[in-house]
Amino acid sequence: MAQLPEADPLIHDLLAQEVARQNDGLELIASENFVSRPVMQAMGSPLTNKYAEGLPGKRYYGGCQVVDQVENIARDRAKRLFGCDWVNVQPHSGANANASIYLTLMRPGDTFLGLDLAHGGHLTHGSPVNFSGILYKAEYYGVDKDGPLAGRIDMNKVREKAKAIRPRMISIGASAYARDFDYAAFRDIADEVGAFLWMDMAHTAGLIAAGVLNDPMPHCHIVSTTTHKTLRGPRAGMLLIGKDGENTLGKVAPKSGRVKNWSELFDSSVFPGMQGGPLMHVIAAKAVAFEEALQDDFKAYAKQVVLNAQVMADAFTERGYQVVSGGTDNHLALIDLRSKGITGKEAEEALQAADITVNKNMVPYDDQSPFVTSGIRVGTPAMTTRGLGPDEFREIVDLMDRVITNPSDETVLQHVKGAIHEMTARFPLYDFVTA
C-alpha cells in the first residue's frame, strides 16, 4: 500500500498547504472548528468502503455486522448527549437533514415560517434559490430594527405573523443570530396555529449539548443539526426527536395498519427518501466526537466559547463598532461596519491579507447586496479549541481593528500578520498532514 506523498504528490502537497494555512492563520468563521485526531482517524478509515443502506439490523446489504455496531454506538451516544428518544445519524450534511424534514412534514406548495435569511436565517429555511423556497411557500419573521429588541426576535411579531399566514411548519435556528431562542414561546405559537415546530441547531448543537444554551428538545417536534460546528465532529448532519410517539399524519404500516411513530417517518425520509448509502466512516467519526462531547472538558470548552465571544463583542463595542443586538449569548457576534465606512467584503479581504479568516455577512436591514454586505460575522469555536482565552481574543479585536481602519496599509497588514503567526504558534494545532 503506497503512501499519499508518493502516490499523489500533487494532492499531498495541497493537503500540506491547507494544514499549514489552518495552523498559521486565525480561524474566526463561526461555523468552523478543528476536529481531534481520533475523529479524523475514524473518518479516514476503511469504513468508507462499506455499503449499508437501511438501518442497523435492517440493511439491504450483507457484511454489515460491524458497521451496525458502529451506528448503534453513534446513536446511543447522541441520545445520551442530547437527552432525546431518537436520532438518525445518517444525514450527509445539515442541508440533507433539513430536506428530510420538509419531505416528512410538508407537501409541495405548503407554507412555512422561518427566520429571514437577511436577518440571520439559513438558505434551507426558505431562500428562493434553495429547494426550500422553490418547492414550498416561505414566509419570514425577522429581528427588530430599533427599540429595546433591536437585533432580536420579537415573539409578539412572530405570533402575529403566524396567525396571519397559518403555516404548516415553523422553523427556528440560524446561521448568524447571536441570541438564544425561547423555545417554549415558539411552541405556544405553533400550537396556537396548528403548526409543526422544527429547530435547526446546526450552529449551536455543541453549546446545547453542554447545557450553556436553552434546550430545544422538550419543545420541538423535530430537531436537526450539523455535527461539525460547535459540536466539533465530522462534516455531516443528524436528526433528533425529544419525545417520540405516534404520527398525526395518518401514516400506518402497510400490512398491520399500525400507526407509525414519528421516528419511523423521519427514518424513511432520510433513506430512501433523500439519500442512498450512509457514510459509515463519517458515522464512526460522529460516534468518536459524541463521546468527546460527553466529557466534562467539553462542557468547559463550550462555556469558554461563549465567554470568548462575549469578550470579543465587548471589545468591538469599546472600539466604537455596532454589535448587532448589543452582544451575544452564543459563539458568534455580528459586527455592523457601517460606522467605520468599510463594507463587509472589503473588511474580509483586508483581514484575509493578514491571515485572519472571517466571513462577510449581511446585517439586519442591510443596504448592501449579499456579495458586498455591511458586516462581518466572527465566531470563537475554532480558536477556543486551540486554547485561546479572553486575553488573546481582546488582542485579536485590537489587531482586527487596526486592519479594518487601515485596510490598504501594507505595513499594518504585514505587522498584524506577524502578530497572528506569533499567537498561533503558541497554540499548536496539527503536527501531521494526513490522519
Ligand X SMILES: Cc1ncc(COP(=O)(O)O)c(C=O)c1O
Q: Any idea which residues carry the catalytic annotation?
A: 51, 53, 200, 226, 229, 235
Q: Does 32 bind ligand X (CB under 6 A)?
A: no
33, 127, 175, 325: residue in contact with ligand X (rule CB under 6 A): 175
Backbone angles phi, psi at 48, to 5 degrees: -60, -20
Closest distance to ligand X from the beta carbon of 124 (Å):
5
How far apart, in whole angstroms, are the C-alpha atoms of residue 260 and residue 283? 26
Of residues 226 and 328, the one with the C-beta less far from ligand X: 226
Of residues 210 and 282, the one with the C-beta less far from ligand X: 282
59, 77, 119, 122: residue in contact with ligand X (rule CB under 6 A): 122
Q: Are 377 and 361 in contact (CB under 8 A)?
A: yes
93, 275, 304, 373: residue in contact with ligand X (rule CB under 6 A): 93
Closest distance to ligand X from the beta carbon of 33 (Å):
12
Q: Does 232 bind ligand X (CB under 6 A)?
A: no
Closest distance to ligand X from the beta carbon of 320 (Å):
29
Helix (H) or strand (E) holding 111: strand 111-115
Q: Where are the beta strands (DSSP E) in 196-245?
A: 196-200, 222-226, 237-241
Of residues 235 and 415, the one with the C-beta less far from ligand X: 235
Residue 237 Cα distances to 23, 125, 176, 227, 391, angstroms: 26, 16, 18, 6, 34
Residue nearest to ligand X as judged by C-beta position: 94
64, 67, 82, 94: residue in contact with ligand X (rule CB under 6 A): 94
How far apart, in whole angstroms, are the C-alpha atoms of residue 140 and residue 153? 11
142, 216, 233, 237: residue in contact with ligand X (rule CB under 6 A): 237
DSSP line for 235-295: S-EEEEESS--B-SS--B-TTT-PBPBHHHHHHHIIIIII-SS--HHHHHHHHHHHHHHTS
Q: Which stretch binds ligand X (CB under 6 A): 18-26, 197-205, 266-274, 299-307?
A: 197-205
Q: Which stretch binds ligand X (CB under 6 A): 75-83, 92-100, 146-154, 336-344?
A: 92-100
Closest distance to ligand X from the beta carbon of 236 (Å):
7
DSSP line for 367-408: -S-TTT-SEEEEE-HHHHHTT--HHHHHHHHHHHHHHHHSTT
Total chain residues near ligand X (CB under 6 A): 15
Closest distance to ligand X from the beta carbon of 105 (Å):
16
Q: Could you give the 3-state DSSP secondary structure of residue 356?
A: strand
How far apart, in whole angstroms, are the C-alpha atoms of residue 429 and residue 384? 11
How far apart, in whole angstroms, are the C-alpha atoms of residue 173 and residue 205? 11
Q: Does 31 bind ligand X (CB under 6 A)?
A: yes
Residues at the interface with ligand X (CB under 6 A): 31, 93-95, 98, 122, 124, 173-175, 200, 202-203, 226, 237
